Amino acid sequence: MKWDLLLASIIFFCVVPALCLSRPAADLIIRNARIWTVDTARPEAQAVAILGDRIVAVGANQELDAWLGPETRVIDAAGKRLLPGFNDSHVHFVTGGARLDEVQLHEVTSPREFARRVAERAAKGAKGEWMVGGNWDETRWNPPQIPTKDLIDPVTPDSPVAVSRYDGHMILANSLALKAAGITAQTPDPAGGVIVRDSRGNPTGALKDAAADLVLKIIPAPNHSQRRQAIERALQMAASVGVTSVQHMNPEYADIAVYSELLDQGKLTTRVYAVPLISQFEDQVKIGIRHAFGNPWLRIGALKAYADGSLGSATAYFFEPLIDQPQNRGLLADLMHPVSSMQDRMAKADAAGLQLCAHAIGDAAISTILDIYSGIEKTHGKADRRWRIEHAQHMAAGDFDRFAGLRVIASVQPYHAIDDGRWAEARIGRDRAARTYAFRTFLNHGVRLAFGTDWYVAPLNPMLTLYAAVTRATLDGKNPKGWFPEQKLTIREAIEAYTMGSAYAEFQDRVKGSITPGKLADMVLLSEDVLTVAPDRIRDIKALKTWIGGQLIYDAESASSTPER
């Protein structure tokens, strides 16, 4: 039943007091739960009643008995913690899904095992289908040796292979792939790359940096069915970790077409906000699409812009040079040259009512985007735009106030903090590191946070993100008390950012993000109480059950094991 119909029927029955008792019964009641609603009006509850895809009541067990009917399904949550479903504000959903099905070579410790896994994956793929991914690391082998095509040619007669080293700086291609790319003994090394050769000068299949591009550039884009398969894998993954909404950054239009097809077939099990690149902004302007256009399942109306690169690749744009590269302060992204061209694009998109989400990592990149936003506000006037800065990693001290003044949302990925925290200080120094992933400072300035992962770059599992935000314990174990511990969040603040915060960031805070009557019944039941467990155990918590719009889309009891990413 639609929510408005339901409301109408409640109103109808209740204007005649005698009929009030015959209000509709709930389809589902979850009882005996420890519910953290993320609704300040009623933060804690025991039970929730669902009718259709909406929550109709939240309260104590007995209070909800009035919603029981002969058809009502009742679930006893046995005292487990129930939260609103997680909303990941920044994912690369198709790449994430595709990677789940790629050959996994990272843990391999011998050439034999390497060949065995490649053979196994080749047997699963269609004839002629490219095999990519892998993340092999020959330093784990004894003795370490860079693999050659001879190792995998016998098991891949029909599949071109281009599997990557874990650092992304080398690939191993098989003979089929070399042939497709036209690489022979006569091919010279390209500028910035090396074709590794044997003693007779023949390519071994190992290709470094720019030489790898000779092969990578000829790999065809995924076709419709490959795309659909990747999305279906990603949907399963999301359900298994309690993610019920994702905000897909820079999707291809073909990805949106798959979402639309799945929605039509009733198979979309995660709510999607698709945010295409700003280079294509005129497409949405032409048809008059405005921010958050669509239905609760699938929406468009936002644009993703890049202001700079990343800290890891030393391309994030800073005011001052990097400590470990004194000649380098990073650089602005292509479309930022000149900045006025980006300003123009963004102003046109804003005039059309589209939402802006700008990737900005270095302090100068963030400042430049704030300049643009502030210029647009001056020209177009104040409005509820919910501008976003994606990552917002390294803040200039003076920019927190500007960030807050423009009501810009910081769409951040706490897992990056415990990952980069291993080496970031050596690159940018202590002063800048103190304003890095500065979640507490953002909150103190009244900046709204939205949490996400950047999956595939980091794991999709929200428990790892919560763990990161609450502990700031770097992955190398060197900061058990937290890297810049003054920036830690409480678990309640972290959950808020991951539910209401992310919903706000996509103009959906009135329909989801908390367990509140009238909102969509998107919820997750957890194996342990994330609010009271020791912080270092948060990362071990699992989703037991996930519901979206009142439908159970994941049940750990009936699911087979799922991979980490």
Residues that bind Zn ion (CB under 5 A): 454
Q: How many CB atoms lie within 10 A of CB 325?
A: 11
Residue closer to Zn ion (CB basis): 457 or 552: 457
Cis previous bond, 296, omega within 30: no
Q: Please answer whether residues 424 and 474 qualify as being in contact, where contact means their C-beta atoms are separated by less than 8 angstroms.
A: no
Residue closer to Zn ion (CB basis): 363 or 454: 454
Residue closer to Zn ion (CB basis): 204 or 436: 436
Cis previous bond, 70, omega within 30: no
Minimum CB–partner distance for residue 282 and Zn ion (Å): 23
Residue closer to Zn ion (CB basis): 308 or 454: 454
Q: How many CB atoms lie within 10 A of CB 463?
A: 22
How many residues does this entry show for the chain? 565
Residue closer to Zn ion (CB basis): 94 or 515: 94
CA dist 532 and 518 (Å) reads 28
Minimum CB–partner distance for residue 391 and Zn ion (Å): 8
Minimum CB–partner distance for residue 455 and Zn ion (Å): 9
Question: Which residues, listed in sequence order, are joined to residue 206 by a DSSP beta bridge?
Answer: 172
Cis previous bond, 456, omega within 30: yes
Minimum CB–partner distance for residue 416 and Zn ion (Å): 10
- Residue number of the CB atom closest to Zn ion: 454
Minimum CB–partner distance for residue 31 and Zn ion (Å): 40
Q: How many CB atoms lie within 10 A of CB 161?
A: 27
First to last CA, the chain: 36
Minimum CB–partner distance for residue 130 and Zn ion (Å): 23
Minimum CB–partner distance for residue 177 and Zn ion (Å): 28
Residue closer to Zn ion (CB basis): 27 or 454: 454
Residue closer to Zn ion (CB basis): 425 or 454: 454
Residue closer to Zn ion (CB basis): 350 or 454: 454
Query: What does the block give as tokens for 94?
Result: 């198709």
The separation between CA 481 and the C-alpha centre of its own chain, rounded to angstroms, equals 26
Minimum CB–partner distance for residue 414 and Zn ion (Å): 14
Minimum CB–partner distance for residue 30 and Zn ion (Å): 34
Query: What does the block give as tokens for 126?
Result: 């269609």
Please give the order of strands across the beta sheet that includes 298-300.
Answer: 86-91, 243-249, 271-275, 298-300, 293-294
> Comparing C-alpha atoms, which of 342, 330, 338, 334 is closest to residue 370?
342
Minimum CB–partner distance for residue 90 and Zn ion (Å): 6
Q: How many CB atoms lie within 10 A of CB 63?
A: 14
Residue closer to Zn ion (CB basis): 350 or 390: 390
Give me the phi and psi of 447, to 5 degrees please. -85, 135
Please give the order of strands across the beta sheet that includes 523-526.
Answer: 44-45, 34-36, 81-84, 523-526, 543-548, 551-555
E strands, 155-242, are 161-165, 170-173, 193-197, 203-209
Residue closer to Zn ion (CB basis): 310 or 551: 310
